[in-house]
């Protein structure tokens, strides 16, 4: 790996270590995970300590009232494991029920969008299989931060303030998250003693205390009082599951891995498959032709994703057909060098706000973990005296009759959060992710290509400017993209989103493990408050 082959605006260097490395979007959480590694815990132990701390210090984005997915490389087995920790719709939530309340598409907020929280069951699965340290120890630091307070970091404070109106609509949300009637400002101390008590209950009594005990009862009461249909049976019946990751062989020995549907990792693989047919180096990094090829591939991938991704427990998702060479070639042939597409789904052959963290340890284990409430503070509901904010993942269901993702009892919705992983010659190489709704597969495509095709180091790959395709022919470009490239893309028919309007471009982390030496190289997103740290 050559360092500094490209130069993008950033104040950060790579973090290089041998014994362990943690990277995520908030420094206090990084240090919580690093402390676990330094005391002898493995990458899975450290990942749970990190994400639990994020639930306290970045509550705008994540919490135990949300969902999680993970990719775990376990060195002793020499293989990658996947966890789907996304919860289903309540058994009484039907499309007809939602339509009867006057909706022609799913609402984005409120009780009807609350699905069963899955993250704690994902923690449980990971620790029961690979962990060496109990929750009573791993939750000690987040409990301390919740009870005794922590200083709010800059970008998180900004996101918190944007949710002021939403969190003002619900009494418990306003009381917990807007002390004194406003969001905390940067560097102000914030306390959440109710959540500290919730975490203490889970630490001492286990995850079941959330799903079958008094915590769950308050969640159900909150949702039902707000007009939802979640029940204790819905909570008690939920288990996270181990899943087999899906993958595409990209080039030169590199393979990209994602969680299968109901997550949207398939979207990233669809785009990578299409892009694999282009000589990106010949197009030239950062040229208009380069961006055009990636944008068009992403459009086609999303068109198919929105048409086919759903809960595979309830519908047939044609993964093999969508990723087949024949189908990929038909999609690739739709791309014209000088004309922007209006994307439409194809017909494949049929075969029978978010946090991201990555951790690597000295034994060669690597964890790619992502967890979210979806939109900032999720549904806007906070459950009684628990300090737990509830996700709004149900907002991603469809109300189109017969659509694979049409809301139905016990169905898991189309899910935006996706952890990523890259192997090289069948060995662990890179654990990475880019959070931010529908930006996530776009970030996987762009950061992954930076790492593999252009051999960027992790920090440079994250610093590089990005695009965010929004809809139809509309695409946003970061300001670092040159005026000349913008003019050329506009000439191809791309509708450029105004550069003076705020839009997000994701937030990511990367750890690369050198296959020969085991040295770890980590980068942290300059677009959020986080950091990478190792020892």
Give dist(CA 488, CA 367) in Å, integer: 40
Residue 420 lies in a domain: no
The conformation of residue 372, written as its DSSP 8-state character, comes to E
Q: Which of 62, 354, 386, 460 is catalytic?
A: 354
Residue 498 lies in a domain: yes
Residues 364 and 328 reside in one and the same domain: no
Contact (Cβ atoms closer than 8 angstroms) between residue 429 and residue 73: no
Residues 138 and 220 reside in one and the same domain: yes
For residue 33, is pLDDT > 70?
yes
Q: Nearest-5° angle of CA 239, CA 435, CA 258?
A: 60
Which pLDDT score is estimated for 350? 46
Residue 409 lies in a domain: no
408-444 pLDDT, tens digit each: 999 999 999 999 999 999 999 999 999 888 999 999 9
For residue 281, is pLDDT > 80?
yes
Residues 341 and 360 reside in one and the same domain: no
CA–CA distance from 380 to each of 105, 157, 167, 395, 399 (Å)?
19, 17, 6, 13, 22
CA–CA distance from 409 to each of 151, 285, 312, 391, 518 (Å)?
41, 47, 14, 17, 47
For residue 382, is pLDDT > 80?
yes
Q: Is 354 a catalytic residue?
A: yes
Residue 59 lies in a domain: yes
Give dist(CA 525, CA 367) in Å, integer: 17
Q: Which residues of 371-380 are buried (b: 16+ CB within 10 A; e: fewer)?
A: bbbbbbbbbb
Residues 184 and 312 reside in one and the same domain: no
Domain hosting 494: range is 264-353+434-534
CB-based contacts of 297: which residues, under 8 Å, 6+ apart?
270, 271, 274, 275, 332, 335, 445
Mean pLDDT of 469-474: 94
497-528 pLDDT, tens digit each: 998 888 889 999 999 999 999 999 999 988 88
Which pLDDT score is estimated for 352? 34
| DSSP character string of 133-196 | S-HHHHTHHHHHHHHH-EEPPHHHHHHHHHTHHHHHSSHHHHHHHSGGGSPPPTT-EE--HHHH
Residues 380 and 521 reside in one and the same domain: no
Residues 282 and 385 reside in one and the same domain: no
Residues 286 and 318 reside in one and the same domain: yes
Residues 439 and 527 reside in one and the same domain: yes
Residues 183 and 269 reside in one and the same domain: no
How much is the mean pLDDT over the chain? 95
324-354 pLDDT, tens digit each: 999 999 999 999 999 999 988 877 654 336 8
For residue 19, is pLDDT > 50?
yes
Give dist(CA 317, CA 533) in Å, integer: 39
Residues 81 and 57 reside in one and the same domain: yes
Give dist(CA 535, CA 525) in Å, integer: 20
The count of residues in the chain is 535
Number of domains composing the chain: 2
Give dist(CA 103, CA 399) in Å, integer: 8
Q: Which among 396, 420, 451 is the end of a domain?
A: 396
pTM: 0.95
Q: Which among 396, 426, 461 is the end of a domain?
A: 396
For residue 306, is pLDDT > 60?
yes
Give dist(CA 320, CA 307) in Å, integer: 15
Report percent pLDDT > 70 for the chain: 98
Residues 184 and 39 reside in one and the same domain: yes
Residues 297 and 392 reside in one and the same domain: no
Kindly report the backbone phi and psi dihedral angles of residue 333, in degrees, each rounded to the nearest multiple of 5, phi listed first: -70, -15
Residue 421 lies in a domain: no
- Spatial strand order in the sheet of 474-477: 467-471, 474-477, 495-496
Residue 414 lies in a domain: no
Q: Which CATH number is 438's domain given?
A: 1.10.246.130
């Amino acid at each position: 790996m050559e360092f500094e082959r490209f130069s993008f605006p950033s104040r950060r260097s790579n973090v290089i270590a041998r014994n362990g490395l943690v990277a995520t979007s908030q420094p206090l959480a990084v240090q919580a995970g690093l402390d676990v590694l330094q005391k002898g815990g493995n990458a899975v132990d450290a990942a749970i300590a990190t994400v639990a701390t994020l639930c306290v210090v970045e509550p705008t984005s994540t919490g135990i009232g949300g969902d999680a997915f993970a990719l775990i490389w376990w060195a002793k087995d020499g293989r990658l494991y996947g966890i789907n920790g996304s919860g289903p719709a309540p058994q009484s939530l039907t499309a007809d029920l939602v339509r009867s309340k006057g909706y022609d598409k799913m609402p984005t907020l409120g009780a009807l969008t609350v699905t069963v929280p899955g993250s704690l069951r994902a923690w449980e699965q990971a620790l029961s299989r690979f962990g060496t340290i109990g929750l009573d120890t791993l939750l000690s630091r987040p409990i301390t931060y919740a009870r005794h307070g922590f200083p709010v970091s800059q970008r998180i404070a900004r996101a918190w303030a944007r949710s002021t109106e939403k969190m003002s609509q619900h009494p418990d949300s306003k009381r917990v998250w807007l002390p004194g009637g406003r969001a905390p400002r940067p560097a102000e101390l914030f306390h959440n003693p109710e959540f500290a008590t919730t975490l203490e209950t889970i630490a001492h009594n286990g995850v079941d205390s959330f799903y079958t005990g008094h915590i769950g009862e308050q969640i159900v009461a909150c949702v039902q009082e707000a007009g939802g249909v979640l029940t204790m049976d819905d909570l008690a019946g939920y288990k996270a599951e181990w899943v087999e990751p899906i993958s595409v062989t990209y080039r030169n020995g590199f393979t990209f891995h994602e969680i299968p549907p109901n997550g949207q990792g398939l979207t990233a693989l669809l785009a990578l498959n299409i892009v694999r047919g282009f000589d990106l180096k010949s197009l030239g990094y950062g040229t208009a032709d380069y961006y055009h090829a990636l944008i068009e591939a992403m459009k086609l991938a999303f068109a198919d994703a929105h048409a086919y991704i759903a809960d595979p427990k309830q519908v047939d998702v044609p993964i093999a057909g969508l990723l087949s060479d024949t189908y990929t070639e038909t999609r690739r042939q739709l791309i014209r060098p000088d004309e922007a597409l209006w994307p439409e789904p194809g017909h494949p052959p049929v075969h029978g706000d978010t946090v991201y963290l990555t951790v690597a340890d000295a034994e060669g284990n690597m964890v790619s973990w992502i967890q979210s409430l979806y939109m900032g503070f999720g549904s806007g509901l906070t459950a009684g005296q628990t300090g737990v904010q509830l996700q709004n993942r149900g907002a991603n269901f469809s109300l189109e009759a017969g659509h694979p993702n049409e809301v139905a009892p016990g169905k898991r919705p189309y899910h935006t959060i996706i952890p990523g992983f890259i192997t090289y010659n069948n060995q662990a190489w890179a654990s990475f992710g880019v959070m931010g709704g529908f930006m996530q597969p776009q970030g996987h495509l762009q950061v992954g290509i930076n790492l593999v095709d252009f051999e960027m180091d992790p920090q440079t790959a994250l610093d590089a400017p990005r695009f965010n395709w929004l809809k139809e022919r509309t695409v946003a470009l970061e300001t670092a993209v040159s005026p000349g490239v913008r003019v050329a893309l506009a000439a191809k028919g791309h509708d450029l989103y105004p550069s003076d309007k705020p839009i997000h471009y994701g937030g990511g982390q990367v750890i690369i493990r050198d296959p020969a030496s085991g040295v770890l190289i980590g980068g942290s997103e300059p677009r959020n408050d986080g950091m990478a740290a190792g020892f």
